[in-house]
Structure 1
Amino acid sequence: MIDVLVVGIGEYVTGLAQQKAAQSDKSFGVVALSLFDMRSRGLVGNIRLAGRDASRFESVRHHFETNLKSAYTDLDTSFEAYPKSGRNDEAYKEALSDMKPGSAVMIFTPDDTHFTIARDALEAGMHVLVAKPLVKRVQEHQILMDLAAKKGLLLMLEVHKRFDPIYADAVDRIQTFGDFSYFVSYMSQPKSQLNTFAAWAGISSDISYYLNSHHVDLLCWAIGEKAKPISVYATSATGVADKKLGRKVEDTITLTVQWENIKSGALATSVHTASWIAPPSDVHSQQRFFYMGHNGEVRVDQAHRGYTVSTDTNGFQSANPLFMKYTPRDGKFAGQEGYGYKSLATFVESASALRDNPSNLAEYNRILPTIQNTLTTTRILEAGRRSLDEKRIIEL
């Protein structure tokens, strides 16, 4: 059993966007609900949530009481809140001071804050999970990588697609396809999400960092040390988000990455597109990829799993309970097999195990998406941003 601090109380954590239940596929949230269930299973002890404004916790508690506890009988949704009163952008530091070293910290905050919070958590002796993108710059990645190694702590990237059984099987098959040749991915969010992201969109981060990070990481995981990126060129589309938010914001960003297969020297190309101006559809987020190797190819549409539902309330939808299963079973939460849940549970279980067996860290750094093996993802994402800003190809 391990105590957990979650930094950030937005949609992915609580299911709330702008203090209202999110109009998305995550209206119950992912992180808090998963932790409440893990606590009922004896995996998690105390749960702390840190935000910046104490007044928001009233709506968080009301949402949990009204929605989560009405859906799942006997679910304990209690937590300790930081700040206790008023507003404090560094309330998480008070929470860290109340925790024992070796506890766990999960960071789900705007992209530009990840580095500072993760550094502070590591300095306090905590194992850390960070939402994608882990950080925005290679320099920050290397600082945290060195710090985690020095402290002997786990610093893991929360990329739940690695825990999708279909994506994971595709990656296993890709290992048998010989040299890497071509990869293309697409992921979207509806225009309505720009309201949720209004505080930071186009200011501290962009849609490539937010969404392309998923499939850039997936490709890096799939090809491992087989190939290396040698250049990145980014392009964008504009005209919707800037009008909606009143500032310069890219609607859609495409990264084109040139790769080189290390043994043969053969070239390869990957194209990663992310957008947050999609219209309403049967899914909240389109998400798919195609991979071609010299000896085989694979395509996966993660948004459509051949399972459709239609109701008077929500109309026609393509359901994906493999991510988070919110429908209760016999009045209980039954989503433990969802890959959104598994990503969090894997971190919790690994951090707990390290207290008894610190020597396992080297193995976790080999098999999990940790700070130690995701540097290439950060290199590509940062190069994409630089390419947009500098209007040129970035050599790696």
Structure 2
Amino acid sequence: MRVLIVEDELIIAEYIKGVLEDEGHEVLSVARNYSEALDSFQKNNPNIVLLDINLGEEKNGFHVAKKIQESSNTAIVLVSGNTTKEFIDEAKALNPNGFLSKPVKAIDLVLAVELAYNSFVKNSQMNNEIASLVSSSQQNEQSYLLRSFIHDMMNPISSLKHQVSRASSLNEEDRDGLKNKVNLVIDILKSFREIVKKQDSRAQKISIPNLCKKIDLINRYQCLSQEIELIISPLDEEVYGIESELLRVFSNLINNSVEAIEVSKAKDAWIEIAFIKVEDQIKAMVTDSGEGIQEDYREKLFTESFSTKGITDHSGAGLGLYSARESLRRYRHEISYNENSKNTQFVIEFYER
């Protein structure tokens, strides 16, 4: 790999250079101070910078690192003989890819450089995947927001229609007139929803392993922050649909589980997504460590205006599940609650095309 060494002591710099070149790495330059370091960095575009902190002047290695991080995404390994708490805290704040303590041993140098660069590459790849995922989601965001708006408008209007039908203070003529106006608004919203659906027609076959990887990227941090183990078992198959919509469905189910687990304060909490194939049909089993949803509410889970928030220990279901089912049914997929599971489990059945 292409290495820039920033070190003000010539003997140490030559030693580091020799070790790295013996391992087949290309040392682009040896810089001795702040100005030389930035100038060499801009001219040579290294893969990794070995950066001594004490450069014998006012602007030290920390200043160099901050400047590099402002303008570029490059692996940095800090080098120093200072191990005081104050120094370590300042070094950690920079979030370097590695750290070497002086005097530097050859084996430690080689390992630090290779491990730091490999870690940097993996993190960069993950960040690129997240950026690509965000871009893909943004392309579908407009139609998603429109569908959400229509959905949110339909609930109170449908409720108003029901109340008008039961209003005893209105005479029959006024009640019929108001009902007709409400029905007109509902018809307009339904027509608008159909137009949005037609505009959003980028459905295609989606690799389940790739889908699982993105589900993990989106939801891993939330689960880790709640000390919940997220287990995802892919299948080497494909399913049909719009990737961003499927990601929303799975993320919604995971979010519901996280909220439920948080309320229950259960120990050894976990969420599992397992793709299986049964008689040529692909299914996704989304299970969490909860004990299930109360029987009284199971039939209402997928209705448009029902939410279990604040009613059961398993909060978070309701409107999200209705939207999930609507999204899946566009491609003849189906989602259901498994009453036979000892845990809380939803099953998504994918229609084979």
Q: TM-score, normalised by structure 2?
A: 0.29
Which gives a bigger RCO, structure 1 or 2 (Cα 8 Å, sep 6+)?
A: 1
Structure with more strand by fraction: 1
Q: Which structure has more helix as a fraction of its residues?
A: 2
